[in-house]
Structure 1
Amino acid sequence: MRARSLLLAATLGVGAVVISQPAYAAGPAIQITKIYYNSYGRTSDTPVTNTKLNGEYVQIKNMTKKAVSLKGWTLRDKQSTASGHIFKFGTFTLGAGKTVTVRTGKGKNTSANRYWGRSYTQGSVAYIWNNTSDTAYLRNASGTLKDSCSYKSKSTVYSKAC
Structure 2
Amino acid sequence: MRKRHALAVVSAGICGLVTAAPAQAAEYSSALKIKAIQYDAPGRDSNRCSGGNTKDEYLVIKNYSRTATVNLKGYVVKDATGNRFAFTANHHLQPGDFVRLRGGRGTDSDAGNVVYRQNCNFIWNNDKDTIYFYKPSGARADVHSYTKSANDRDGNGYITYHG
- TM over 0.5, shorter chain: yes
Could you say if the C-alpha distance between residues 62 and 42 of structure 1 is closer, same or farther in structure 2, counting changes exceeding 3 Å? same
Gaps of 5+ in 2: 1-24
Counterparts of 1:118 and 1:151, CA distance in 2? 23
Relative to its length, the structure with more strand (as a share) is 1
Cα distance in 2, alignment partners of residues 98 and 28 from structure 1: 14
Larger helix proportion of the pair: 2
**Cα 1:75–1:88, aligned 2, differ >3 Å: closer, same or farther?**
same
On the 8 A contact 1:50/1:105 being kept in 2, the answer is no
Residues 30 and 141 in structure 2, CA contact (< 8 A), matched pair in contact too: yes
- Structure label with greater radius of gyration: 1
Aligned partner of 2:123 in structure 1 is 128
Moved over 6 A (4+): none
TM-score by length of structure 1 reads 0.70
When residues 50 and 56 of structure 1 are mapped into structure 2, their CA distance, relative to the original with a 3 A threshold, is farther
1:3-152 equivalence runs, <5 A: 28-43=30-45, 48=48, 49=50, 52-64=53-65, 65-80=67-82, 85-90=83-88, 91-111=90-110, 112-119=113-120, 126-152=121-147
Give the stretch that moved more between structures: 29-38 or 87-96.
87-96
Describe the SS at the equivalent of 1:72.
Answer: coil
Offset of residue 63 of structure 1: 0.6
Identity among equivalent positions (%) equals 31
TM-score (norm 2): 0.70
Q: How far apart, CA to CA, are the structure 2 residues paired with 1:47 and 1:143?
A: 30
Shift of the 158–100 alpha-carbon distance from structure 1 to 2, 3 Å rule, reads same
- The count of residues paired between Structure 1 and Structure 2 equals 128
1:74–1:50 distance in 2 versus 1, CA, 3 Å: farther
C-alpha RMSD over aligned residues? 2.5
Is the Cα–Cα contact under 8 Å of residues 50 and 106 in structure 1 kept in the other structure?
Answer: no
| Cα deviation code 1:42-91 (max 9, x no counterpart) | 53xx67455511100000000112101221110111111xxxx2111122
Q: Write the letter of the residue equivalent to 2:91.
A: F
